[in-house]
């Protein structure tokens, strides 16, 4: 790998990403996780996967050192300070495509351990959705390329959104359907789970009539407001909280750009 490479990392709210990935993989019949989730509800899948992750991480913990993350040691990575337990814990997350990949610090730590700080730019989809041109200008400046000319219409397009998983399929922001579980009569966090101007699929090609048919099926499904769904969201908030704490700690140290302030409240980061 080029030692002078520049890396751009775009992070999304971890619960949003997990839900979006789950819905995408149910939609895409040829997706890598489709068979795993095709007959699952989100809450049912979360319960099973959290149990698997717990057992995997408990096994990994038996091979690690006693140094706690609260001490905030310098980032370590494969070949840069990982002990066996940390490596095994990272593998637990890596093998959990839907839930584990939202443990951003596990993967970002590896990059921070191997590349200089000025080679890694961390951005957030909240900022991209709110101020797309500002985010693009930051990337251009980071890469040292000339600023491009973008029309207002281009900046307002959303690619790879829910029900439109293709880089060939663009929607206006007002056309992107969000999914919100804020409110309702139950307990648990109030977290908007919309697409946030960003989807999780790759450059996938679909026939338009297939998209329309499956979109209609999704529209007929009731929107989750309470009960098991919110309980699953609360469990994921607990799962991701320590990982969010590390991101905010790195931001405080100047290693990465600060996460969106709203994340601090969502994940109860002091």
For domain 7-266, the CATH class is: alpha beta
Does residue 7 sit in helix, strand or coil? strand
Q: Which residue has the tokens 């992750």?
A: 53
Q: Which residue has the tokens 């993967």?
A: 107
What is the predicted pLDDT for the residue at 208? 36
Give CA separation, 68 vs 225, 229, 246, in Å.
Answer: 37, 32, 12
What is the predicted pLDDT for the residue at 226? 62
What is the predicted pLDDT for the residue at 79? 65
In terms of Cβ atoms closer than 10 Å to its own Cβ (0-12, 13-18, 19+), residue 176 is buried
What is the predicted pLDDT for the residue at 17? 97
Closest CA to 7 of 107, 133, 102: 107
Please count the residues of the chain.
270
Per-domain residue ranges for the chain? 7-266
What is the predicted pLDDT for the residue at 48? 98
What is the predicted pLDDT for the residue at 163? 74
User: What pTM was estimated for this model as a whole?
Assistant: 0.79
Paired tokens of 82: 């990982």
Q: Please say whether the beta carbons of 135 and 148 come within 8 A.
A: no
Residues 99-136, buried b or exposed e (16+ Cβ, 10 A)? bbbbbbbbebbbbbbbbeeeebbbbbbbbbbeebeebb
For the chain, list residues with pLDDT below 70: 66-74, 78-80, 178-226
What is the predicted pLDDT for the residue at 191? 55
What is the predicted pLDDT for the residue at 246? 96
């Amino acid at each position: 790998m080029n030692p002078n490479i520049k890396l751009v990392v775009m992070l999304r709210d971890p619960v949003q990403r997990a839900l979006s990935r789950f819905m995408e993989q149910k939609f895409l019949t040829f997706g890598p996780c489709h068979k795993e989730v095709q007959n699952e509800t989100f809450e049912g899948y979360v319960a099973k996967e959290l149990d698997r992750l717990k057992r995997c991480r408990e096994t990994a913990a038996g091979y690690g050192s006693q140094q706690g993350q609260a001490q905030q040691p310098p980032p370590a990575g494969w070949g840069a300070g990982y002990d066996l337990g940390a490596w095994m814990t990272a593998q637990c997350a890596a093998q959990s495509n839907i839930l584990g990949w939202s443990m951003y610090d596990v993967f970002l730590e590896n990059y921070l351990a191997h590349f200089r700080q000025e080679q890694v730019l961390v951005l957030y989809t909240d900022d991209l959705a709110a101020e797309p041109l500002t985010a693009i200008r930051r990337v251009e400046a980071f890469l040292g390329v000339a600023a491009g000319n973008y029309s207002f219409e281009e900046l307002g397009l959303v690619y790879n959104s829910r029900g439109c998983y293709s880089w060939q399929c663009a929607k206006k922001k007002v056309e992107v359907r969000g999914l919100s579980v804020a409110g309702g009569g139950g307990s648990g966090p109030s977290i908007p789970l919309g697409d946030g101007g960003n989807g999780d699929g790759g450059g996938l090609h679909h026939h338009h009539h297939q998209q329309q048919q499956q979109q209609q099926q999704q529209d007929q499904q009731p929107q989750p407001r309470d009960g098991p769904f919110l309980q699953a969201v609360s469990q994921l908030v607990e799962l991701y909280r320590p990982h969010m704490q590390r991101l905010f700690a790195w931001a405080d140290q100047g290693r990465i750009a600060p996460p969106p302030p709203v994340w601090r409240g969502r994940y109860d980061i002091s």
